[in-house]
Structure 1
Amino acid sequence: MKKIILIVAVIVVLVAAGLAAWLLFLRPAPEDAAAETEEAVAEEAGVHSGPVQYLELAPSFVVNFPHQGRQRYMQASLSVMSRDSEAIAAVSRHMPLIRHNLINLFSAQLLLVFEDPSGIERLRQLATAEVQQVLINEIGREGIEEVLFTDFVMQ
């Protein structure tokens, strides 16, 4: 009977030592597990991590529109920001469609810029959504994070 108790005690000690060793040495650290989980979620969502890349949408956009009986002009230089090199290549490949959609957007929305101080930011957000929609239709995902105004002049 003493042998059985001794064997059980040795087994319990060995299991406890093995569990302690696993917890200390083999189990990933919580921050590593969280980072791996975030990377997996981002990859599933189609978001690539990496360095930020910019692509200038050259030449500048020039749009004319009437405002209070006068002809007005807007000139804007834009760049797209992305961490996905495939999306940057898709923007280059579909540049004529993107430029066409943005010119139509700017022509339709420019009165908002004159009437509201936050209109330029709203116009930038609409431009971002427009480019993302083109990429969704063409490559199946948004691909870019932001459209940025690098120059904006209105007369």
Structure 2
Amino acid sequence: MAEEELQGEEGGKKKSPLMLIIIIVVVLLVGGGGAAYFFLFMGDEEVAEESEDAQASEAESTIPATGIAIYVAMPRPFQFNAPGTTRERLVQIDVQLMVRGAENEALANRHIPMIEGNLLQVFSSANAEDLVTDVGKIDLRNKATAQVRQIMNELEKKPVVEQVLFTGFVIQ
């Protein structure tokens, strides 16, 4: 009887390390699979959204991609206060507009006061925490480009401006 209990305990000891190893392997596989799913598929949604936004903006734009790129500088930098959760920050942005061809350059120069007013409106609606990050700056530039194209569509019946570029960006 004592020998049977001893053999049962030894057999149980052999099974518990094996069971422990199996449990650890299963947990690692499930955790690794979940992490892989999160990184692979969640990143694809963001890329898909960005590509959808890019396709939508290309569809809206009727600017030919050919021609010489001309850069129209705004006469003065944009200065504004950006509210934040911890404190308000002062921001200064130097802007240039990229257009294609002399005709679009003349149209952009003609409407600089309207463009400045709309850009200042877009910039002043920005949040300080967003402007500190690269993603926030890119988002602000995309919003500014969309706003300028919309205004030029209303005024001249074509987008005129291909892209709004930040040539200087200071945040304090």
Normalising by structure 1, what TM-score? 0.64
Which residue number in structure 2 is paired with residue 119 of structure 1?
A: 136
Which residue number in structure 2 is paired with residue 105 of structure 1?
A: 122
Which residue number in structure 2 is paired with residue 51 of structure 1?
A: 68
Which residue number in structure 1 is paired with residue 77 of structure 2?
A: 60
The whole-number CA distance in structure 1 between the counterparts of 2:73 and 2:132 is: 28
SS of 2:67's equivalent in the other structure is: coil
Q: Structure 1 residue 76: deviation in Å?
A: 0.4
Bigger share in helix: 2
- Structure 1 unaligned segments of length 5 or more: list them: 1-44
Bigger share in strand: 1
The whole-number CA distance in structure 2 between the counterparts of 1:130 and 1:84 is: 21
Which residue number in structure 1 is paired with residue 113 of structure 2?
A: 96
Query: 2:108 touches 2:160 (CA, 8 Å); kept in 1?
Result: no
State the number of aligned residues: 111
Is the counterpart of residue 141 in structure 1 residue 158 in structure 2?
A: yes
Letter of the aligned partner of 1:131 in structure 2?
A: V
SS of 2:88's equivalent in the other structure is: strand
Letter of the aligned partner of 2:88 in structure 1?
A: Q
The whole-number CA distance in structure 2 between the counterparts of 1:102 and 1:69 is: 25
Which stretches of structure 1, 4 residues or more, deviate above 6 A after TM superposition? none
Letter of the aligned partner of 1:148 in structure 2?
A: L
1:54 to 1:46, Cα distance in 2 relative to 1, 3 A: closer
1:92 to 1:53, Cα distance in 2 relative to 1, 3 A: same
Q: Structure 1 residue 83: deviation in Å?
A: 1.1
Tell me the percent identity: 32
SS of 1:148's equivalent in the other structure is: strand
- Structure 2 unaligned segments of length 5 or more: list them: 1-61
Letter of the aligned partner of 1:101 in structure 2?
A: N
